[in-house]
Structure 1
Amino acid sequence: MNSPSDDGYSLEKAKENLNVLRTVEGQVVEAIEAADSEEVLEYLILDQQLDIHHEGGQGVGPIRRAVLRSSKASRELKRTVITRGDDTPESILVPDDVERNARTALRTGKPVVLYGPTGTGKTTFAKQLALRHCVGYSLHTATPSWTAKDIVGGIGPNLSGSRMSSITYHTELGAVTSGVKRTRDFGIPYAVILDEITRADISQIFGPLYTAIENRNQTLIETDEGEAIELDEDLSIICTMNMSDRTVNELDNAITRRFAMVELDEYEDDDRQTLFRDWLDSNLSDIPLVDNDDLLALFEADYDGINNGSEQASRGPIMRFGPMHYRDVTVFLREALQDEELYMDAPAEAVGQAFRTFIVPRLLNSAAFPQIEQIEEHYRALDKSFEMFDLAPAADLASRELDAERRQMGSYEQ
């Protein structure tokens, strides 16, 4: 094989040596590092997909690192390799003003919090926002055990050795500091998404970050190599926060003063119906076992009853609940109604089972006792109103949860 020379690695050399490049990963790295034009990189990565061939469908290995470090690679090519395997949809479905507010907030350099009830598309929009504003992103989902170390890093044991008596310690980067390192190493704008941060103690995990936001020269952590990590202007921080049972006023003032708060809540009727119709058409248009107009009416009645109150159940609103959950219902039905071993012979029941699987559990997850009562009444009423469907499975699940809550309350009283 012809080795890359000081004159650069040409497209002709890449084509001539393709068989070797497919065999030897290191030669691909050398070819990328010595490429004399972006055309060479596009041939290796876009046409021949040698990064996928050697490194698989996702992750950042030596070949992709070489592309990310290359001065010949365009921003789009870098985005291609760093997001291999990413399935984020291109079409943004959130209301226009939400998108504009979020994009503007990111341009100010402030961290952004997308907040609102479950099912409003916050996580998907966070990824879309990251891909439009940056070259790549990493996604981290909060847990109750998170500490500041998960955000900025800290000291941890080096477990690579075999003898416990010789344990050493090293610096471990957190979600944000790892993002800063990637921004620096590759010279790209990068985003860190912190998903569902209300699962953690926000004041505890963000303490050091608050200080760094106020003073960009504040060192968050120093690596073992002595590199000081501060917030970088090319790093974007995007958080998501479920607010089904909370309001912004209940949050620590520290976050609302330092982060741009972008609400993702109410969809206009036309926008919501467009979402419902698109999901029904894309998943069920070729399946005549259920009527899409009837399903659309059911989705609307369910959504309205949950968010605004149901005339059938003679109750007020149950909780804030987003429209994105109904996409899962249409995908469930698409699979269920094409297989005789599933629900092909029972389409009415399939609808109820879809609601039992994807809608009711998500409502019950954050429901208090009075809301559980409302959920049961709501689905009993819908079952009567929509006789073409069998919504008893959804109502029965709420009923069982209600019985369990009553038994638990009874044990407390005793």
Structure 2
Amino acid sequence: MTSRGVRVSGEAGERSEGVVPQQSPEFRLRLPGASGVDRARGVLLAGVGTNGSRKFLLRAGSPARDRAMPSFARHFKGAHQRREELRAAGVLRRSERWPGWLELTEDVECGSPSAAAEVLVGAPRNGWVEWRTESGAPLSDFMEGVWSGPGRAWLVRGSNVSGVDLVQRLWLPEERVSLPAARLRPDIGQGPSKERLRAVVEEDWGTTATYNQKLELVEELHAFLSRMKPGDTVCTLSGGRFYIGEITGPAEQTASDNGRSNLRRPVEWQSTSHAFDELPEEIQQRLSVQHDVVDLTAVQPLLDGLGRTDEELADEADSLTHDPSDTIPALAARRELALPEPGQPLADELLVHDVEWLREIRELLWDERQIVLYGPPGTGKTYLALKLAEFLGGGPEQVKLVQFHPSYAYEDFFEGFRPREDPQTREVAFRLTAGPLRELADLASREGNRHVPHFLIIDEINRANLAKVFGELYFLLEYRNKSVRLTYSGDDFALPPNLFVIGTMNTADRSIALVDAAMRRRFAFVELSPRSEPTSGLLRRWLHRQGEDSRPADLLDALNSRIEEADFRIGPSYLMKNGVHRQGGLERVWRTKILPLLEEHHYGESLDIERRYGLSALARSIDNAGKAGESAP
């Protein structure tokens, strides 16, 4: 890997080839913490460096920081070495005008605007953006044929191009990135429109490529030739290592063996690489997209923070913002996702017997990210899921509830085509419409939201055809660091790390055994049953808090003791209502809510439901048991 080119103009035995274009303005650079210090000055040169990037000339008298970022020598060895060479030669020495700063005593020619900025700052810098004219225009505005707009990040694959690892053979040693286009006509260079590329690809590739291959090729060529620009971040993978660099010049077409690398751009690669397995999950998701060129701009802040401490990032950002309310994207992106720890106040609010039970639910969510609360009707599954999600997510805004039913489908849950009226023409047409999961995933993945937990509550999750509803999303539930190509939109999609799923399942409606193995493997299952805590004593605790008599709890316990199948026992929610304690309220709920459930359960059996489960029968059994207890010695 070569170092970034930096040399002093007019060194002994050497003549500078840098020529300042007549129309090139002078650019200025503000240094971090440079209050009372002049801005550095420089101009863009007409010449190009060994890898094709435009050279840049630093003017004598430009200030420089007297210290470098601690990790600068490790990640940017070439620029660090040149900076030290200039200091040793006395070209970069302590300033008499600005105490505590360094100053250039001669003009210095650099291999690129970014290399020039790094020599002065002692930290990575995007020179195409940070070198600006007196009026504030960035240097990139003065490059012809370059896509305008903010910087972007790109993945370009090169570890297996016709069986050759170009990353190790060409890209790193010669500081390049390339794209194979063996059939592309030679007059196509920097900046063609997508429409022109469609016509060129159709004509040049003809029947040698399928329709889909041509579509993909047009997108890749347009990104590489027209959308990428100097200053953009470029990344690649090779041998399980992740490499990051900066594009430093325009695209060019050149001859190469078998057309493996005939489209090339100059790149300044960082000196260090990163293990793929240690990358943040969101970066791994993006890298799993199966295209040769992938837009990584959504994870740009995470890329900027790789290998750098919080202090280094804050120091780097000093020169980029004047507003103390501004956030540093790389620091904001690395804010860790966390689920708050449940305490006794939450246990008291939910009437849970032990706060440790709530903490176990939190740990299951953290480890698995998907759980199912299952049990008989009335055990408080949906209520508990909502309250837990609101507590762990920080409020109801981060919680979305959807209820499954037999006709529910993938198109309802994730995305599909639905009739929609155009607000202007009033015409109705089928349009791709996002479902609740897609909407919540998009919200959770927004910049600034990635450290905030978001929850999807799926009520009655077992009432739908789960394989039909989830489709390819089944894969993502288990492999959160991967992405898949969506059925309708064709987008590459991954579930955000901060998206959690809580399902509820009524075991009286359908047995848990009917849920397929794929579903059970992807969810942790937590039982809420009247036979065990926190459900068994829930009604008694609620009655005590309400200041009511415990008689309804005694009746419910007596009822459940007569129901042999655990999945059909009655939960306490039916009796946790104020109306139960009005005149005739208990009898009314028993007659209209509880007995009909038991009649359905015993349908076809010659059983007297009232005699076995009626209030009067249960009351007599409780009274008789009490008298028997009193008469016992």
Residue-by-residue CA offset, 1:301-339 (whole Å, 9 max, x unaligned): 223233x5xxxxxxx8793322222213xx1134x3xxx
Provide the residue aligned with 1:322 in structure 2: 571
Match of 2:595 in 1: 360
Q: Does 1:259 align with 2:523?
A: yes
TM-score norm. by structure 1 comes to: 0.56
CA–CA distance in structure 2, aligned partners of residues 90 and 137 of structure 1: 22
Larger radius of gyration: 2
Q: Give the number of the structure whose residues are more often helix, by fraction.
A: 1
Q: Distance in 1 between matches of 2:503 and 2:542?
A: 27
Structure 2 letter corresponding to 1:145? S
| Alpha-carbon distance in 2 for matches of 1:253, 1:379 | 36
For the residues of structure 2 that align with 1:270 and 1:110, how far apart are their CA atoms?
22
1:381-400 maps to which residues of 2 (within 5 A)?
Answer: 382-384=615-617, 386=619
User: Matches of 1:250 and 1:242 in 2, distance apart?
Assistant: 12
Is 1:299 the equivalent of 2:299? Answer: no
Matched AA of 2:612: H
Please name the residue that 2:506 is paired with: 242
| Structure 2 residue 417 is the aligned partner of structure 1 residue 155 | yes
Preserved contact between residue 139 and residue 193 of structure 1 (Cα < 8 Å): yes
Contact 2:456–2:502 (Cα < 8 Å) also in 1: yes
Give the number of the structure whose residues are more often strand, by fraction.
2
Aligned residues: 277
Residue identity opposite 1:254 in structure 2:
A
Q: Distance in 1 between matches of 2:527 and 2:566?
A: 20
| CA distance in structure 2 between the aligned counterparts of 1:253 and 1:370, rounded to whole angstroms | 32
Question: d(CA) in 2 for partners of 1:271 and 1:126?
Answer: 14
User: 1:333 matched to which residue of 2?
Assistant: 580
Q: Secondary structure at the match of 1:351?
A: helix
Q: Give secondary structure in 1 for the equivalent of 2:586.
A: helix
Structure 2 CA distance, aligned partners of 1:386 and 1:231? 53
CA contact (8 A) 1:159 1:167 kept: yes
Q: Following superposition of structure 1 onto structure 2, how do residues 10-409 of structure 1 map, counting pairs within 5 Å? A: 91-94=349-352, 96=354, 99-135=358-394, 136-161=398-423, 166-185=427-446, 187=449, 188-216=452-480, 217-219=482-484, 221=486, 228-244=492-508, 246-268=510-532, 272-273=536-537, 275-283=538-546, 285=548, 292-306=549-563, 308=564, 319-328=568-577, 331-334=578-581, 336=582, 347=583, 349-364=584-599, 366-370=600-604, 373=607, 375-380=609-614, 382-384=615-617, 386=619
Could you list the runs of 5+ residues in structure 1 that have no partner in the other structure? 1-34, 38-70, 80-87, 286-291, 309-315, 337-346, 390-414
- CA deviation after TM superposition for structure 1 residue 367, in Å: 1.9
After superposition, the C-alpha distances for 1:199-256 in whole angstroms (9 at most, x for unaligned) are 21122112222122244432464998x9754201010011111112644332211101
Q: Does structure 2 conserve the Cα–Cα contact (< 8 Å) formed by 1:111 and 1:259?
A: yes
CA-to-partner distance for each residue in 1:15-46, whole Å, 9 max, x for gaps?
Answer: xxxxxxxxxxxxxxxxxxxx988xxxxxxxxx
Deviation at 1:363, TM superposition (A): 3.8
Partner SS state of residue 272, structure 1: coil
The whole-number CA distance in structure 1 between the counterparts of 2:545 and 2:589 is: 17
Q: Which position in structure 2 is the counterpart of 1:17?
A: none
SS at match of 2:562: helix
Question: Taking CA–CA contacts closer than 8 Å with sequence separation of 6 or more, which of the two structures ends up with the larger relative contact order?
Answer: 1
Q: Take 1:219 and 1:356, find their aligned partners in 2: how far apart are those partners?
A: 51
Report the Cα distance in structure 2 between the residues aligned to 1:140 and 1:363, rounded to whole angstroms: 28
Q: List per-residue Cα deviations over 1:151-198 (Å, max 9, x = no partner).
A: 22122232234767x434432112211111111235032111110112
Matched letter for residue 405 of structure 2: T
C-alpha separation between the residues in 1 aligned to 2:474 and 2:425? 39
Is the CA contact 2:463–2:510 (under 8 Å) kept in the aligned structure 1? no
Q: CA separation in 1, counterparts of 2:501 and 2:422? A: 31
Whether the aligned pair in 1 keeps the contact of 2:530 and 2:536 (CA below 8 Å) is no
Greater mean alpha carbon deviation, residues 243-252 or residues 120-129: 243-252
**1:295–1:112 Cα change, 3 Å:** closer
Structure 1 CA distance, aligned partners of 2:358 and 2:531? 13
Which sections of structure 2, spanning at least 5 residues, go unmatched?
1-322, 326-331, 341-345, 623-633
TM-score calculated relative to the size of structure 2: 0.38
- Percent identity between the aligned chains? 28
8 A contact 2:379–2:535 mirrored in 1: no
2:52 corresponds in structure 1 to none
Is the CA contact (8 Å cut-off) linking 1:98 and 1:264 kept in structure 2?
no
Judge conservation of contact 1:177–1:220 (CA < 8 Å) in 2. Answer: no
Q: Evaluate the alpha carbon distance shift between residue 257 and residue 162 of structure 1 in structure 2; reply closer, same or farther with a 3 A threshold.
A: same
Counterpart CA distance in 1 for 2:347 and 2:593 is 21
Cα RMSD (Å): 3.9
CA distance in 2, matches of 1:189, 1:161: 34
